[in-house]
Each structure stands twice: as structure tokens, then as C-alpha cells.
């Protein structure tokens, strides 16, 4: 069995679904079910005996340790985190609590469990920590992409809290010998993505006839990684990654935010044309940039390819087409996640700003 934290969130639920589609090894799925955690993501596993869901908080070390001792997993895959930069600017406290204190509590429970394992199980055990490229800071237009040796320089409360969690994981390997692995990924996209992030927000707002809010001049560059490619990378690192190592996971798809929005509009023009025959591009609205907005991220994923043979299967063109089609095909899922609290958040974050 593997123990997955945050397995009802965007990347976590995709990982659980992909894992059980390719292996019979059971998953114990541990998630707090905050606003971005959604059991509907896992609806197809409702009758699957290989999947057990437990609601809980990684900050509760006693609950985590009890579950570890009961189920005796061979690995922990740690997704659970607060992950939205804008929310971290509005309220950093939750990010400090979950991403730093929660990871510490999880590591302590894991260390207690792992230390008592028989030697054969102890050496085979893995703790895989899923992190972000944002810990590395920002790049200039001509800078080389982030590598695993790039110095940390986080610029938001979110990225700072993830950087702290990365350092904790590293320290538990070097101090206690805990067999850890860390992955730092670029911007994910795909099914089940909560519509506060750029790609799903644009798809949702376009269909609703609402403005498509673009920060500043829209020239912030990101490397885009299809979520199933990310899941495949995590499986490969868990299988064969060198203990104590860090592996960067990227899609080799650098694009400016505005170009992503244009691509989405053009795809929707073809796939779901507006009744008046106009283009969704007409809904683009420029809003004031967020504080400390990093200008460019880019990932050098050559270490993962050279050591473990992983590379993304999807191009941005193929991945974004699958993503748009998924959202068009799942209106009920979207309606369920777009609660009043969600609507209030979008209004306060995007539309209560002065124009760019």
C-alpha cells in the first residue's frame, strides 16, 4: 500500500486515478477536504476496494501515525498543500500552517513509523515530497531554466512556505536517514483543476460570458506540464529515484500567460462557438498585476530524463485540447465546485482591482 496526502486535490486525485489505472497496489488517501479538495474527483473509485479515503489533517501527527501503524504503507507521496499564490498574499497564515507545520508533523509521524520498521521494510520505504518550481524565484528572459542546483529565492508566502517544507524534507534525510525524494514541478494543467487557476478560470469565465482577467501585460512566462505527465514522473521517481535526490519535472512548454489565454479563446471559438459569432478574445480584461509577481519560470528536466528515462508524453497543443474538452464535457463538476464562496473569492481577487 501507498499513503497519499492531498489525494482529493487537483494533482493528487489525478495521481490516485492514474495509479489505480496502472497498478493493483492499494492507496490510502488522506485529505482534509478544504475548498480545493473534492471527493467528486474520485467518484469512479467509489466501489473500488483498492482505494480507501480517510479525512484528516496532516497537522494531526497522532492521526497520521495511527494510520501508518495500522496500514503499514511502503511509501508516502505527499501532495497536501495550500498552493494558490493569490490566496497566500491575502492570507499567508494557512500556508505557513499547512505547508510548513503540516509537513513537519507528517515527517515526525513518518520518522516514528519508519524507525520501527524491520530492516528490509525500512530500506525499501520512500517518502516522496511534491513541490514546485516557484521555490527558485524568477528568471530573466535570457536566463537558463531552473535546475536542481538553482539557489532558492522564493518571492511569495506560498513559495516561501513550500521552500521551507523542501528544506525540512532534506533535513530529515540528512539528519535521520529518512529515505526521501523531492520533485519540483512546473505549472500543471488538466482535468479536475480548481477554477481559481489561470487555465480553468479562463475556460469557465469564457463560457459564462464573464471577463477573462489577465494580470498586468500578460507577458509572465510559465512552463506548462500536463498533469498526467507529472503523475507519470512521480511514479517513476518513486520507483527508481536515488534516495535524497531532487528531480525537476517540466513540460518543456514555455508560454506567456496572454498566449495561453489566446490559445484557449481560439480553441473555444472552434469547439464551443459563441451564439453571436464573435470571439472569446473580446472578453479579455487586463487587471492590476499581483504584488511580487514572478516574471518567468522554466524547468530544466534533463536530470529526470537522463537518470530515469522520463519525458512528457503531451505537447502543450495536445494537452490543452484534452483539457478544454474535459471541461466542456463536465459541466456538473464545474457547477458543484463554483460555490458562493468561490464566486466571492474570484470577485475580490480579480475584479476589485484597478485596471492595469
Q: Which residues are catalytic?
A: 133-134, 158
Contact between 261 and 103 (Cβ < 8 Å): no
Contact between 28 and 102 (Cβ < 8 Å): no
Assigned C-alpha cell, 179: 529515505
Taking the CA atoms of 288, 290, 293 and 296 in sequence, report the sign of the dihedral they define: negative
Contact between 297 and 138 (Cβ < 8 Å): yes
To the nearest 10°, the Cα dihedral for 95, 100, 106, 110? 160
Beta pairing partners, 284: 212
Separation in Å, CA 53 to CA 4, 44, 78, 110, 226: 10, 13, 15, 19, 25
DSSP annotation of 289: P
What phi-psi label fits residue 76: left (phi over 0), alpha (psi between -120 and 50 degrees) or beta? beta
**Helices 157-176 & 103-115 angle (0-180, nearest 10):** 20
CB burial readout 90-113, b (16+ within 10 A) else e: eebeebbebbbbbbbbbbebbbeb
d(CA 284, CA 291): 21
To the nearest 10°, the Cα dihedral for 334, 227, 252, 294? 60
d(CA 351, CA 273): 25
Nearest alpha carbon to residue 25 among 48, 7, 5: 48
DSSP annotation of 299: B
Strand boundaries in 239-312, DSSP class E = 246-249, 254-256, 284-287
d(CA 164, CA 161): 5
Amino acid at each position: 500500500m501507498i499513503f497519499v496526502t492531498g489525494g482529493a486535490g487537483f494533482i493528487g486525485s489525478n495521481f490516485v486515478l492514474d495509479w489505480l489505472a496502472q497498478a493493483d497496489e492499494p492507496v490510502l488517501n488522506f485529505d482534509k477536504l478544504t475548498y480545493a479538495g473534492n471527493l467528486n474527483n474520485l467518484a469512479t473509485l467509489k466501489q473500488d476496494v483498492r482505494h480507501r479515503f480517510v479525512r484528516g489533517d496532516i497537522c494531526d501527527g497522532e492521526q497520521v501515525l495511527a494510520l501508518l501503524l495500522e496500514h503499514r504503507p511502503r511509501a508516502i507521496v505527499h501532495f497536501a498543500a495550500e498552493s494558490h499564490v493569490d490566496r497566500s498574499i491575502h492570507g499567508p497564515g494557512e500556508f505557513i500552517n499547512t505547508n510548513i507545520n503540516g509537513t513537519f508533523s507528517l515527517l515526525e509521524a513518518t520518522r516514528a513509523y519508519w524507525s520501527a520498521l524491520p530492516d528490509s521494510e525500512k530500506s525499501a520505504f520512500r517518502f516522496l515530497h511534491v513541490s514546485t518550481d516557484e521555490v527558485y524565484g524568477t528568471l530573466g528572459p535570457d536566463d537558463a531554466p531552473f535546475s536542481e542546483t538553482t539557489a532558492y529565492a522564493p518571492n511569495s508566502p506560498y513559495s516561501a512556505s513550500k521552500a521551507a517544507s523542501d528544506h525540512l524534507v532534506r533535513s530529515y534525510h540528512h539528519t535521520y536517514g529518512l529515505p526521501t525524494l523531492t520533485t519540483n514541478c512546473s505549472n500543471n494543467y488538466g482535468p479536475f483543476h480548481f477554477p481559481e487557476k489561470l487555465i480553468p478560470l479562463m475556460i469557465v469565465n469564457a463560457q459564462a460570458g464573464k471577463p477573462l482577467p489577465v494580470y498586468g501585460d500578460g507577458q509572465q512566462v510559465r512552463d506548462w506540464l500536463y498533469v498526467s505527465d507529472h503523475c507519470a514522473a512521480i511514479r517513476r521517481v518513486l520507483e527508481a529515484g536515488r534516495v535524497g535526490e531532487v528531480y525537476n519535472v517540466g513540460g518543456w512548454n514555455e508560454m506567456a500567460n496572454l498566449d495561453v489565454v489566446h490559445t484557449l479563446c481560439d480553441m473555444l471559438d472552434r469547439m464551443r462557438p459563441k451564439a453571436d459569432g464573435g470571439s472569446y478574445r473580446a472578453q479579455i480584461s487586463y487587471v492590476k498585476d499581483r504584488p511580487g509577481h514572478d516574471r518567468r519560470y522554466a524547468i530544466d528536466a534533463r536530470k529526470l530524463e537522463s537518470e530515469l528515462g522520463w519525458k512528457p508524453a503531451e505537447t502543450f497543443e495536445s494537452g490543452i485540447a484534452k483539457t478544454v474538452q474535459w471541461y466542456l464535457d463536465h459541466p456538473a463538476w464545474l457547477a458543484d465546485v463554483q460555490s458562493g464562496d468561490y464566486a466571492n473569492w474570484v470577485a475580490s481577487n480579480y475584479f476589485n482591482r484597478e485596471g492595469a
